Amino acid sequence: MSRWRVLIGSRSFGREFPEHLELLRAAGCEVVPNTTGRAYRAAELPDALAGVDAIVTGTDELTADVIEAAESLRVIAKHGVGLDTVDLDAARARGIVVVATPDAVTDSVADLTMGLLLCLARQIVAGDRDVRAGGWTRTTGIELRGRLLGLVGLGRIGRSVAERARSFGLGVAASDPYADPASSAVDLVELDELLRRSDVVSMHAGLPAGAPPLLGARELALMKPGALLVNTARGALVDEAALADALRAGPLAGAALDVFAAEPPAGSPLLSLPNVVLTPHSGGQTRDALRRMGEETARNCIAALRGEGVPA
């Protein structure tokens, strides 16, 4: 007989690597599959979580009301990094353990960030589209050496992007109110100064639920003429309507986005702009990252259910 019931909210957990589901079963868990084919909405979770000890969550809406109603819930194991969809205060008040896998996707997201930057700098996507359409218009891009990359956020992924950027000859600066200047290997400046100075701005910050975007019309207007923007962090960090205006009329020359305020971004003004590269929130979607993330998620969930120590 199973000791615990574990609801699989995440759509990707166990899909590529079913052995991660077997880790749960081998530890005495009954695996309860996702029956929606998507993330659970708040209205659906009270029924889905009835009699459940743990949830392996992706972007399920674990609101305060949901958490308070889930009487048997003991563990929220995030299959990923961000906890934006989990009411952490409500979980803490209930004594529910919340654990994520912050290191699992660092290299994959940093790699994609640099890939998107190169696509913008060398207009790779535009060139591909042209050749496929029968054209042969040579695009004129820019070199990265000697230009300044401004990182908005200097956590694990921001630091990994900085490491990669230096190998391309980019200078690196960052804006992060939580970074320690004494231990930082990059120049730390205020956000407005970073936007004014940077040739490329790359987003790697968090954003509290309900907070306004870090980059709105005012902030985008501060950026250098011809500057590029990359966002592989959170769609809500950037005001998409203001970004579309900045890409149409300046100052921005291009943007590359892996994340959006609403996903998929149906009806977004960014979809029709030729100087935008778009990817479907795939920063952590490598086999390497998914293998690490799934195994860490399963082991975190099991350890928390057993009352053992879990990563902070």
Judge whether 263 counts as a catalytic residue: yes
Q: Which two tokens stand for residue 170?
A: 């980019």
Q: Are 280 and 260 in contact (CB under 8 A)?
A: no
Q: Which of 65, 64, 96, 60 is nearest to 78 (CA)?
A: 60
Q: Which of 234, 228, 289 is nearest to 258 (CA)?
A: 234
Among positive and negative, which fits the CA dihedral 42, 47, 52, 57?
negative
Burial annotation 10-27 (CB, 10 A radius, 16+ → b, else e): bbbbbeebeebbebbeeb
Judge whether 20 counts as a catalytic residue: no
Rounded CA separation 31/179 (Å): 40
Catalytic residue among 94, 156, 196, 281: 281
Judge whether 234 counts as a catalytic residue: yes
Task: Tokens 């930057």: give the residue.
Answer: 117
Q: Are 256 and 281 in contact (CB under 8 A)?
A: no
β-pair partners for 54: 6, 75
Q: Exposed, middle or buried, 267 (CB in 10 Å: 0-12/13-18/19+)?
A: exposed
Write out the DSSP string of 157-187: HHHHHHHHHHHTT-EEEEE-TTS-TTT-SSE
Catalytic residue among 20, 197, 204, 234: 234
Among positive and negative, which fits the CA dihedral 21, 7, 235, 129?
positive
Catalytic residue among 263, 287, 306, 308: 263
Give Cα 100 distance to the centre of its chain: 13
* Residue 264, preceding peptide bond in cis (omega within 30° of 0): yes
β-pair partners for 57: 78
Residues that are catalytic: 234, 263, 281
